[in-house]
Amino acid sequence: MAEPILEVRGLVKHYPLTRGILFKRQIGAVKAVDGVDFHLDRGETLGIVGESGCGKSTVAKMLVHLERPTAGEIRYKGEDITRLSGKALKAVRRNIQMVFQDPYTSLNPRMTVGDIIGEAYDIHPEVAPKGERRKRVQHLLDVVGLNPEYINRYPHQFSGGQRQRIGIARGLALRPEIIVADEPVSALDVSVQAQVINLLARLQDEFDLSYIFIAHDLSIVRHISDRVGVMYLGRIVETGRDAEIYDHPTHPYTQALLSAVPVPDPEAREHRERIMLTGDVPSPTDIPSGCRFRTRCWKARERCALEVPALAVPEEFRDTSGPAAHDSACHFAETLPMWRSAPGRAVPPEEGGEHGSGPE
Amino acid sequence: MLLEVRDLHVEFHTRDGVARAVNGVSYAVEAGETLAVLGESGSGKSVTAQAVMGILDMPPGRITAGEVLFEGRDLLKLKEEERRKVRGAEMAMIFQDALSSLNPVLTVGDQLGEMFTVHRGMSRKDARAKAVELMDRVRIPAARERVRQYPHQFSGGMRQRIMIAMAMALEPKLIIADEPTTALDVTVQAQVMELLAELQREFRMGLILITHDLGVVADVADKIAVMYAGRIVESAPVHDIYKAPAHPYTRGLLDSIPRLDQKGRELYAIKGLPPNLTRIPPGCAFHPRCPMAQEVCRTDVPPLYDVTESDAERGSACHFWRECLHG
């Protein structure tokens, strides 16, 4: 297989907590991201899902160099970019662009749309010569489905969906290879979300883009992603192809997350099984020992408090080729029967190699 | 009938002109029943609820017509003083953002207890005991200790439980929940919705659930009213609407949900944008975005046609509801 376009190894971001004014002492750390590994192939979409505070947005910021990692590597085409600076960094940054969540605060209200999108060319003049920039911006507006004549308008003259299109046009301006989209549709109205998702999918084909798509809406992530990583408290707890994660989850957190998603089908109400998690996510300043999910897990045993489970194919599935054989950071990984019969989740009948047992 | 809203009209005076936020909304809720009001931002779903609760900012808002009958009594005709007695004791509201709805400088115990000192004339000590009891009921662990804490010391899910406790305090007959779980994570959302449903069953309350989430609606509602540009465009029992929508807007919303069998294909998207409320299109407000629009849609405002087929009442404000329902 070809080399991945982006590879992340052991990525860590700790924010120190200090006490004292003159003599600052570190008394702890917010472990926002605590050892994340993944890769992204060219032309592929990797979805990252997780609840608020799981560190998914911090990962996004590190990928585009808005935050410096505490430890770990981000390899772009094989080269570690975390310690780059100056010219070399600038060149790499051009290729990894970001689309932000909130189209209301991520566009400068005092700049025209043309300036917002064209600003990138001031920093990277090699992409577009001065005389050509305006035309380039107009073309970009057209690409994202906005009228090119709107180039002199200000952000407040647009609706939320249109603003997100402007944010996407800005992300495309430098013709990047990778787009990191952090919750790109969650601030939009339902009827407008589908428009923006379609736009992102079309642009991916048109410009051969690779996406890191971060969201908390599981059905949207599934729709757009080739592979999915589930994050909990600073780590990826399960990762695999979309069908592996959604139809054959083996990590209890993924199972609880999927079962909690409201299904837009009232018929499903009666025969739905739900895994109700108790309690809240622990504070990232005080991460539980061993498995970090154990405090909310119904399967937790002594081993979970002592040993950190590795993100790997669980032992019982290692010799199989079924969809349950994907990376899952749980000592007691298993598939649950509810995913074979749950309505709304079209699960193929018993596949070879799958031998999960029910919850105890 | 517990609550009946009849032909409610609300407008706002803004610099850009008069925004007609609610244009003739009628709905009804019985005791023990859950009505979901579904709509996007600007559809008028929250404004209607605020008018029902009597917490609409006036001015700039103005109720120009309509009735809000609560157990047969028109609340809009009551004096503010009488209205205040209804609010909290007879009907209560749960808001989306619990953090900004709670007072940051008072302990949650004080805020919960206030319901009893103000409405029931209890002593502070008795009210405190009631507050602990309420926190227990919404399953906040260690209620006895946490009753002394401030809102910022609680997580989002716990804060929303406190809001529910506060709404439940005086055992009202009707609860209006405005996007109660939108700010919460999915696993917490499931917990909070279950708690709400359980309390509703226990006390046989009427519940108006305002949301934009078709999934949440399918999970808990008995019937739905779909709102668009200040009007109800479709109302139906929850099972019917998901099986066969009778309005193109509802159909569009349902079709734009990503589904398994459509992976990799383009999602259905309703074209265009929701209208500006100061310039609502003539005729059917949805016609500029509607794939079925004909000449008549541009000129005639569709009434809420009776489209009842089985025994449960259904309505659709579409001239071509037959085509929509069967096509």
- pLDDT higher at B232 or B59: B232
Q: A18: pLDDT confidence band, cut at 50, 70 and 90?
A: confident
Q: Distance (Å, rounded) from C-alpha A140 to C-alpha A134?
A: 10
Q: Is A90 on the interface with B (CB under 8 A)?
A: no
Q: Are residues B39 and B148 in the same domain?
A: yes
Q: Is A262 on the interface with B (CB under 8 A)?
A: yes
Could A223 and B252 be called an inter-chain contact, meaning their C-beta atoms sit closer than 8 Å?
A: no
Query: Which of A 92-131 lie inside 8 A of B, CB atoms?
Result: none
Q: Are residues B48 and B181 in the same domain?
A: yes
B318 and B284 in contact (C-beta within 8 Å)? yes
Task: List CB contacts (< 8 A) between A345 and chain B.
Answer: 260
Share of chain A above pLDDT 70, in %: 93
A30: left (phi > 0), else alpha (psi -120 to 50), else beta?
beta
Q: B313: pLDDT confidence band, cut at 50, 70 and 90?
A: confident
The yes/no answer on whether domain A6-225 falls in CATH 3.40.50.720 is no
CA atoms within 13 A on the CB side of B198: 12
Task: List CB contacts (< 8 A) between A201 and chain B.
Answer: 266
Task: List CB contacts (< 8 A) between A197 and chain B.
Answer: 258, 267
Task: List CB contacts (< 8 A) between B261 and chain A.
Answer: 346
Q: Distance (Å, rounded) from C-alpha A149 to C-alpha A141?
A: 9
Split into its structural domains, chain B has a count of 2
Final residue belonging to a domain, choices B199, B221, B243: B221
Number of neighbours of residue B130 by Cβ within 10 angstroms:
19
From A243's Cα to the closest Cα of chain B, the distance in A is 10
- The model's pLDDT over A130-181, given as tens digits with 9 standing for 90+, comes to 888 999 999 999 989 888 888 999 998 888 888 999 999 999 999 999 999 9
From A339's Cα to the closest Cα of chain B, the distance in A is 14
Q: Are residues B243 and B216 in the same domain?
A: no
The residue to which tokens 């709905």 are assigned: B27
The residue to which tokens 């054959």 are assigned: A248
Compare CB distances from B258 to A220, A268, A269 and report the shortest one's residue.
Answer: A220
Could A264 and B257 be called an inter-chain contact, meaning their C-beta atoms sit closer than 8 Å?
A: yes
Beta partners for residue B36, in sequence order: B209, B224
Q: Are residues B109 and B253 in the same domain?
A: no
pLDDT at A234: 93
From B140's Cα to the closest Cα of chain A, the distance in A is 10
Listed range (A77-81, A287-291, B38-42) with the worst mean pLDDT = B38-42
Compare CB distances from B261 to A260, A281, A346 and report the shortest one's residue.
Answer: A346
Could B218 and A193 be called an inter-chain contact, meaning their C-beta atoms sit closer than 8 Å?
A: no
Residue A121 above 60 pLDDT? yes
Q: Distance (Å, rounded) from C-alpha A337 to C-alpha A136?
A: 54
Residue A77 above 60 pLDDT? yes
Q: Where are the alpha helices (DSSP H) in chain A?
A: 56-63, 86-95, 113-123, 133-143, 160-172, 190-207, 218-224, 242-247, 252-260, 302-306, 338-341
- The model's pLDDT over B9-35, given as tens digits with 9 standing for 90+, comes to 999 988 888 989 999 999 999 999 999
Amino acid letter at B248? P
* Structure token pair of residue B268: 């259905």
Stated pTM of the model: 0.83
Compare CB distances from B260 to A274, A281, A345 and report the shortest one's residue.
Answer: A345
Helix (H) / strand (E) element for A98: namely strand A96-99
Q: Are residues B63 and B204 in the same domain?
A: yes
pLDDT at B260: 67
Q: Produce one character per residue of B101-123: b if its CB has 16 or more CB atoms within 10 Å, e if not.
A: bbeeeebbbbbbbbbbbeeeebe
The residue to which tokens 């959302």 are assigned: B189
Q: B185: pLDDT confidence band, cut at 50, 70 and 90?
A: confident
- pLDDT higher at A259 or B99: A259
Amino acid letter at B260? L
CB pairs < 8 Å spanning A and B: 112
Q: Which residues of B touch A (CB under 8 A)?
A: 40-41, 155-158, 185-191, 193-194, 212-219, 221, 238-239, 242, 252-254, 256-258, 260-263, 266-271, 273-274
Residue B168 above 50 pLDDT? yes
Q: What is the mean pLDDT of residues B299-324?
A: 88
Q: What is the mean pLDDT of residues B160-173?
A: 89
**CA-only gyration radius of chain B, Å:** 21
DSSP line for A240-265: EEHHHHHHS--SHHHHHHHHHSPPS-
What is the domain extent for residue B299? 228-326
pLDDT at A235: 94
Residue B271: exposure state from Cβ atoms within 10 A (0-12, 13-18, ≥19): exposed
DSSP line for B217-244: HHHH-SEEEEEETTEEEEEEEHHHHHHS
Residue B247 above 90 pLDDT? yes
The C-alpha angle A276, A281, A284, rounded to 5 degrees, equals 165
pLDDT at B22: 94
Helix (H) / strand (E) element for B109: namely helix B108-120
- The model's pLDDT over A194-252, given as tens digits with 9 standing for 90+, comes to 888 999 999 999 999 999 999 888 888 999 999 999 999 999 999 999 889 988 999 99
pLDDT at A357: 37
Residue A37 above 50 pLDDT? yes
- The model's pLDDT over A183-195, given as tens digits with 9 standing for 90+, comes to 888 878 877 888 8
Residue B301 above 90 pLDDT? yes
Q: Is A345 on the interface with B (CB under 8 A)?
A: yes
pLDDT at A338: 65
Helix (H) / strand (E) element for B130: namely helix B124-137
Q: Are residues B200 and B148 in the same domain?
A: yes
Final residue belonging to a domain, choices B221, B243, B272: B221
Residue B202 above 80 pLDDT? yes
Averaged pLDDT of chain A: 86
Q: What is the mean pLDDT of residues A260-284?
A: 80
Q: Rounded to whole angstroms, what are the CA distances from A280 to A30, B142, B191, B320?
A: 17, 14, 11, 48
- pLDDT higher at A263 or A198: A198
- Using DSSP's 3-state secondary structure scheme, residue A291 falls into coil
Averaged pLDDT of chain B: 89
Q: What is the mean pLDDT of residues A11-27?
A: 86
pLDDT at A101: 84
pLDDT at A351: 36
Candidates B267, B268, B271, B277: best to mutate against A (most CBs of A within 10 A) is B267
Q: A62: pLDDT confidence band, cut at 50, 70 and 90?
A: very high
Q: Distance (Å, rounded) from C-alpha A76 to C-alpha A209?
A: 14
* Structure token pair of residue B47: 């404004």
Q: Distance (Å, rounded) from C-alpha B127 to C-alpha B113?
A: 5
Q: What is the mean pLDDT of residues B277-298?
A: 92
* Structure token pair of residue A159: 């609706």
Final residue belonging to a domain, choices B196, B221, B246: B221
Domain boundaries in chain A? 6-225, 230-341
Could A189 and B270 be called an inter-chain contact, meaning their C-beta atoms sit closer than 8 Å?
A: no
Q: Which residues contact A129 (CB under 8 A, 6 or more apart)?
A: none
Task: List CB contacts (< 8 A) between B212 and chain A.
Answer: 189-190
pLDDT at A324: 84
Q: Are residues B128 and B49 in the same domain?
A: yes
Compare CB distances from B40 to A162, A190, A262 and report the shortest one's residue.
Answer: A190
pLDDT at B101: 85
Q: Distance (Å, rounded) from C-alpha B261 to C-alpha A347?
A: 11
pLDDT at A318: 81
CATH of the domain at B125: 3.40.50.300
The C-alpha angle A337, A38, A6, rounded to 5 degrees, equals 140
Q: What is the mean pLDDT of residues A254-258?
A: 91
Could B189 and A260 be called an inter-chain contact, meaning their C-beta atoms sit closer than 8 Å?
A: yes
pLDDT at A356: 37
pLDDT at B262: 67
- The model's pLDDT over B218-229, given as tens digits with 9 standing for 90+, comes to 888 999 999 999
Residue A353 above 50 pLDDT? no
Residue A354 above 50 pLDDT? no
Q: A339: pLDDT confidence band, cut at 50, 70 and 90?
A: low
Q: What is the mean pLDDT of residues A48-55?
A: 88
Residue A11 above 90 pLDDT? yes
Task: List CB contacts (< 8 A) between B242 and chain A.
Answer: 264-267
Q: A359: pLDDT confidence band, cut at 50, 70 and 90?
A: very low
- pLDDT higher at A322 or A152: A152
pLDDT at B85: 86
Could B263 and A222 be called an inter-chain contact, meaning their C-beta atoms sit closer than 8 Å?
A: yes
